[in-house]
């Protein structure tokens, strides 16, 4: 049997030397790393070893021997335990510095750009209550319908009423809806057995419009009294303009199924972003932090420095928020996105805002870019905003072949961005300004906007 420097259940004293990219404290025992929740750099703790793995283990703080001056009080430890707000024990100023350093680290180490200057993270004045969307599992605990969140790496529901980082109106709405469901004797989903009925409550609330959409995710299509329940939700929560039933019959971690039915009102909500109006359908992506999304886009547009004659590509467009924000300042906007409903929204959003110079297509970015490159579309500026896995090489090839003056890369994952920046550099596009923007305060997620020039 292999020997490790620590064993399970051992209690030892250790100094935290760094924070992992997930915000866990890292201690080392004879070079063997232990990841420790709720522990900050330079803290000295007495910890208990919870798990010993091949290359690293996990520990739990039993006692703080020396606390960090950067520590702040966490109102509810469940916010750490569930991973809802895994950095909420670190002062906000230091959270911003942590994110800047994350980006610096990947760019210097992964992308081998030692000279790179990463700007200080743009943060929020009030870094809580910002999420415009909640996806909350509902389970039966001690005979009662309970809403909350899973304990990290588990499927054990922890009851939570104040989610801290969500719009407080959404927190209240979850409780109201839960109580209505309780009154109607609706059965909660049971994950192990794949039995029961109500799986998740999803709520989206327009930051400016205050329009709310409620999606009830059920295990079976037949929803006895569904329409009546939806009407009562609207009566008790007048901001709700849409109640949708989504059916997910599978035994899976994926929240949404494909079939949907409107139980009350419209199939979408509207909200505003940088002065334009957007329709948002249940399946469309929409940035969860509206205020900071505006800061993020504004930064991207300043870096792009657009001219009236410019042709612009909005790749990974969602409902078109990036392209449509600049459409009236440029000659033409082309965008693409894989989710059909989102592209329908983008086209509708062009109309809603009297924009006639925007073309949105359904399809994979890598395929459509190659096609557009072949057709001779010649953008001056390309905005890319991919999901966590970043860009495909074929996308990067096609983008560079189009010979734009600038590429503005918006990324929610510094690691894949760093990888992609290497490929861009090989094709002559070098990294200029790198600006992290805090879209997810109290969590370890890092959003970055980067300007690439030829």
Which residues contact ligand SAH by CB under 6 A? 285-287, 316-318, 321-322, 336-339, 342, 364-365, 385, 387
Catalytic residues: 412
Closest to 398 (Cα-Cα) out of 428, 421, 365: 365
The per-residue DSSP string of 379-423 comes to -SEEEE---TT---HHHHHHHHHT--SEEEEEES-HHHHHHHHHH
Contacts of 364 (CB under 8 A, 6+ apart): 336, 338
Closest to 355 (Cα-Cα) out of 400, 405, 319: 319
349, two tokens: 């959003």
By beta-carbon proximity to ligand SAH, the closer residue of 203 and 313 is 313
CA pair distance 364, 348, nearest whole angstrom: 20
By beta-carbon proximity to ligand SAH, the closer residue of 263 and 437 is 437
CA pair distance 64, 285, nearest whole angstrom: 41
By beta-carbon proximity to ligand SAH, the closer residue of 121 and 321 is 321
Strands (E) across 338-380 are located at 358-362
Question: To the nearest whole angstrom, how small is the minimum distance from the Cβ of residue 92 to ligand SAH?
Answer: 24
Residue least distant from ligand SAH (Cβ): 318
By beta-carbon proximity to ligand SAH, the closer residue of 231 and 338 is 338
By beta-carbon proximity to ligand SAH, the closer residue of 53 and 387 is 387
CB-neighbour burial class of residue 89 (10 A; exposed 0-12, middle 13-18, buried 19+): buried
Longest dimension (CA), the chain: 70
| Strand-pair partners of 452 | 407, 431
């Amino acid at each position: 049997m292999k020997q490790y420097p620590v064993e399970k259940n051992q209690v030892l004293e250790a100094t935290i030397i760094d924070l992992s990219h997930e915000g866990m404290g890292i201690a080392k025992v004879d070079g063997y790393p232990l990841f420790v929740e709720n522990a900050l750099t330079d803290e000295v703790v007495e910890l208990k070893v919870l798990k010993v793995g091949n290359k690293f283990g996990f520990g739990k703080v039993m006692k703080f021997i020396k606390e960090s001056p950067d520590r702040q009080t966490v109102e509810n430890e469940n916010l750490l335990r569930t991973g809802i707000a895994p950095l909420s024990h670190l002062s906000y100023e230091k959270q911003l510095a942590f994110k800047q350093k994350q980006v610096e680290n990947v760019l210097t180490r992964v992308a081998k750009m030692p000279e790179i200057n990463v700007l200080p993270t743009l943060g929020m004045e009030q870094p809580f209550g910002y999420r415009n969307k909640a996806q909350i599992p509902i389970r039966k605990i001690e005979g009662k319908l309970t809403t909350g969140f899973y304990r990290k790496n588990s499927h054990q529901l922890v009851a939570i009423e104040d989610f801290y980082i969500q719009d407080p109106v959404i927190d209240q709405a979850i409780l109201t809806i839960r109580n209505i469901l309780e009154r109607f004797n609706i059965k909660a989903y049971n994950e192990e057995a794949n039995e029961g009925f109500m799986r998740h409550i999803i709520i989206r609330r327009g930051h400016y419009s205050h329009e709310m959409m409620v999606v009830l995710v059920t295990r079976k299509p037949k929803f006895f009294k569904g329409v009546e329940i939806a009407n009562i939700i609207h009566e008790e929560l007048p901001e709700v303009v849409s109640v949708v039933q989504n059916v997910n019959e599978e035994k899976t971690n994926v929240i949404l199924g494909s079939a949907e039915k409107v139980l009350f009102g419209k199939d979408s909500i509207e909200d505003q972003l940088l002065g334009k109006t957007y329709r948002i359908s249940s399946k469309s992506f929409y940035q969860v932090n509206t205020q900071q999304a505006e800061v993020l886009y504004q930064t991207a547009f300043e870096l792009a420095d657009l001219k009236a004659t410019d042709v612009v590509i909005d790749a990974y467009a969602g409902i078109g928020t990036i392209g449509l924000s600049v459409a009236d300042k440029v000659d033409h906007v082309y965008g693409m996105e894989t989710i059909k409903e989102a592209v329908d929204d983008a086209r509708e959003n062009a109309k809603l805002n009297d924009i006639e110079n925007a073309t949105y297509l359904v399809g994979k970015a890598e395929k459509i870019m190659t096609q557009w490159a072949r057709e001779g579309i010649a953008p001056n500026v390309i905005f890319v905003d991919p999901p966590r896995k970043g860009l495909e090489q074929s996308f990067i090839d096609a983008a560079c072949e189009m010979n734009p003056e600038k590429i503005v890369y918006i990324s929610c994952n510094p690691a894949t961005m760093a990888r992609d920046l290497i490929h861009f550099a090989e094709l002559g596009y070098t990294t200029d300004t790198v600006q992290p923007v805090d879209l997810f305060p109290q969590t370890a997620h890092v959003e970055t906007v980067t300007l690439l020039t030829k």
